Structure 1
Amino acid sequence: MNMDFIEALSDLEREKGISKEVIIEAIEAALISSYKRNFNTAQNVRVDINRQTGRIQVFARKTVVDEVLDPRMEISLYAARELNPNYQLEDIVEIEVTPRDFGRIAAQTAKQVVTQRIREAERGLIYNAFVDKEEDIVTGIVQRQDTRFIYIDLGKVEAIMPLNEVMPTEKFKMNDRIKGYITRVENTTKGPQIVLSRTHPGLLKRLFELEVPEIYDGVVEIKSVAREAGFRSKIAVYSSNPEVDPVGSCVGPKGARVQTIVNELKGEKIDIVRWSEDVGEYVANSLSPSKVVEVEVFEEEKMARVIVPDYQLSLAIGIKGQNARLAAKLTGWKIDIKSETQAEQEFGREKTYAEEMPQDSVSID
């Protein structure tokens, strides 16, 4: 090991951000093990690498004692004072024991340590880069698939997408470019593990943030998202500026913004509804595309009874209850849907054929 090696470590520190001192200390620790392994010794030794010249020295460390029982670990007071008259009992004496051919072992060990440290540093940089992107969207290229995962190349690292995080309506081929939502970033012994999802509600939220400038600017806020991936989603939006229509902003000119998201989600239907502090109004909006006649709110049970026109009952409930289920997820309220006829029969409510409640929502198929 020489000055060129020390200079190389300095270059590595600048380029990779790996501390030269940390690497040298790691090499010194590795050389202690190499020395004991290659020279069959149980001595207590210290390895020193000169930070300027790169010179390596091995020192046996021995305790000063009255009577030597183990010459590998101990030295007599008399022998110690021959080296330095100031030594006292229990002091530690260091005697150089550097083998002649230790340079070859040192070079090999140093190479292994440096390689390992570079790998660890690169893994650390990748982990730090992606841990900040947790709950965000990344774009990658499909590499392969097995019985559990789809493997996606993100450039510096390969991410995994569990098959249960893939929408049931989509199939991927090799080299397909796809967007994924980062649900988890873990630092494992094999390096960073990045887990992606295409079914997470966060994917829909992030897609709207990318497509709608008003959301990015903070004028329009996404209050809630409910999703049954690949089939239907609902998103509740609110505008802090009364002059900005949150639903219209998300739909975009001629539906262009939301259509881009629908295309990305392979035709998933999206209902965009206006969020409201008024629970009744919010629940009515959440049941889009069905029309609502009346909403009765029960605060204690956190339940809302919704009355819809007879001809709208099946639409309000949805196929296999999907529309009602998503509305309940979106609002956080239990929703009991009744037709006007059912309400009359069960609660004695007369059919009034009143005008339907105004709703502010849009459904995109």
Structure 2
Amino acid sequence: MLYPIFDYLDSVMDVPGTGVFRYISFRAGMAALLSLIITVTFGKNIIDWIRAKQIGETVRDLGLAGQTEKKGTPTMGGLMIIAGIVIPTLLFANVNNIYIILLLITTVWLGAIGFLDDYIKVFKKNKEGLAGRFKIVGQITIGIIVGATLYFHEGVVVREFTNPVSIEEGVVETPAFRDVKVAKTTIPFMKNNELNYENFLGFLGESVTPVLYILLVIFIITAVSNGANITDGIDGLAAGTSAIIGLAIAIFAYISGNAIFSQYLNVFFIPNSGELVIFCAAFVGACVGFLWYNAFPAQVFMGDTGSLMLGGVIAVLSLTLRKELLIPVLCGVFVIENVSVIMQVSYFKYTKRKYGEGRRIFLMSPLHHHYQKKNIHESKIVVRFWIVGILLAIITLATLKLR
């Protein structure tokens, strides 16, 4: 909301100092700062309000150390994260940008689904929460919106330069370019690292390609969203991991939105994607600010209100930047947590059919509970998972040059 005001003050009124608002780095810094202020300063007020409404977590006794002590800890803290993302983004980003609009819709939509799930668990005293089929319907709906927008919207393009951008003696030569409406993505660790979905799926027919692309988007959003939801099992794990991922994506967004850097690193130049840096800054700031209250011992849990939203936002950010094939690496912690549950359930069912009793691969799933069962303190588990997340983020960023 502030962007058009400062743009008018600079370009029309020529007010000194207002031109700084044109710089993405300045607006990103302000978004991160405001996000931290919202979550840290007002977080205590939100926690007190949640506690006053008796919105406490119902904790099952799973035989884990310190688990029962968490009973009654306020939940729905994801509202703090949503506020820390939405408010700075509305203030400092260009809200007419199609990518910003998509991310804001995703944040509110998945946050609302998670809030409804938490509401049923807490107020209706139904431990199962929102029925799984309704969650899936909500995730499919946002997947259709995102997929259709990315495939059909005229503003979602890749800019191809017919002559390279160059800088000589401080002067930037104006390049010739054309904006191409094409469904392309990046293949990591490959020399010719572009995959055109239309060519790849074209043999199935032109009318089928957009449908398959939208189905892929639905799958990615659902998988990453559920992965973040499963990861949110011990204090600080989901928020810290999401902050690491968000910072890596912010770097990709800055590069993809810069004509010089994108050409130098041979990645897609996506016009207007630089605005995503502001969103990512608010996202990271909100996650870090939430850790102020969510680090062990947690004063508040994010609940599904936060975890479903975090994963969905990360998925949509990756899709808009055409880095969705990097998700298995960048979001490796989410993937491992998801896979551990799938392996545990599948193996248990298989052995029950074959031997008459179910057997387990892990002491408990998701994976972080396995280490808790081994009597490793949850703070140590969280920090080690963060370290793994940092290593995966570094590997992901290395794909810019490793081909």
TM bucket, shorter chain: under 0.3
More strand by share: 1
* TM-score relative to the length of structure 1: 0.24
Q: Which has the higher contact order (CA 8 A, sep 6+)?
A: 2
More helix by share: 2
